Structure 1
Amino acid sequence: MIRKATAVWKGTGRDGAGQLSSESGVLVATPYSFKTRFENEKGTNSRGVDRGGAAGCFTMALAFGLQLAGFTPDELTTEAAVSLEPEGKGFKFSKSGLTLRAKVPNLDDAGFARIAGEAEKNCPVSRALNAAITLDAKLT
């Protein structure tokens, strides 16, 4: 499976601006810039996409893991906090913190922790980030 996205950038790194588009159409010429990525200016940034990808991928991996174990979740809510730090002349993803709150009938805490841990290890986005990952998973 191959999915594509396109970034178009004009100008310098700090003062330029770009647009992100995805094959799926979720992003269509969506503007981004230095200020939306590294400061607090409103708008899209690749880190927002990265956080969304990390949260979405992990949550779907967990849903599949639960299904394989015979459980159907009522709700899985994951927040991802991805840290970007300077490294040499560029940046690297250093940490990804996943906070999961879940409603899964008939599943005990130990089973939930095991399945959630497996999902964290097997999520393709988590592996691609190549960062230290923490998981705070609780049944509600």
Structure 2
Amino acid sequence: MTIKKSAHTSWSGDIKSGKGYISSQSGALEKQPFGFNTRFEDKPGTNPEELVAAAHSSCFSMALSLALTEAGFVADDITTKATVSLDEVDDGFEVSHIALDVSAKIKEISLEKFEQLCEKTKQGCPISKLMNAEISLTTTLN
């Protein structure tokens, strides 16, 4: 089984003053602005790193839910924050690190089991598998 999802962008202008818009197949993003100012100057709009963080945090939460279900647990709440680090390097820029910070409320699970399942999820999450950057994980069990 292969599932295909898509997004498309349009761009006009030079790198500093140009503008881009991104739209997704689902319609969740519709002509969302992005550009140099949204990436490097914190102006309103999105940027590739924010979109990667959204993809990674949502994928991790879903994958952890699956791992918990397979282990006989159900989460009352899973909150995952992904922080993507973009660093300037000799030949441009690279995403060097993604920090996953997961907090969950799960009845009758030990901290050890929770951490084990989180680590397994970090390795097996489809978006984690996509990344070349180092991925760190911090867990909190409420």
Normalised to the residue count of structure 1, the TM-score between the two structures is 0.95
CA shift at 1:88, angstroms?
A: 4.1
- Secondary structure of the residue aligned to 1:43 is coil
Please list the CA deviations of residues 3-48 of structure 1 after superposition, one character each: whole Å capped at 9, or x if unmatched. 1110111011111010001001101111111110122112222221
Of the three residues 71, 75, 78, the one matched with 2:77 is 75
Task: Report the counterpart of residue 33 of structure 1 in structure 2.
Answer: 35
Task: Report the counterpart of residue 49 of structure 2 in structure 1.
Answer: 47
Amino acid at match of 1:25: G
Residue 39 of structure 2 corresponds to residue 15 of structure 1: no
Please list the CA deviations of residues 71-94 of structure 1 after superposition, one character each: whole Å capped at 9, or x if unmatched. 000000011100111244432210
Residue 109 of structure 2 corresponds to residue 107 of structure 1: yes
CA shift at 1:54, angstroms?
A: 1.0
Structure 2 unaligned residues grouped into runs of 5+:
none
Work out the CA distance in 2 between the residues paired with 1:19 and 1:132: 29
Normalised to the residue count of structure 2, the TM-score between the two structures is 0.94
Work out the CA distance in 2 between the residues paired with 1:32 and 1:18: 5
Task: Report the counterpart of residue 66 of structure 2 in structure 1.
Answer: 64
Amino acid at match of 2:113: G
Identity of aligned residues (%): 36
- Secondary structure of the residue aligned to 1:74 is strand
- Secondary structure of the residue aligned to 2:107 is coil
Amino acid at match of 1:12: D
RMSD: 1.1
What is the aligned residue count? 140
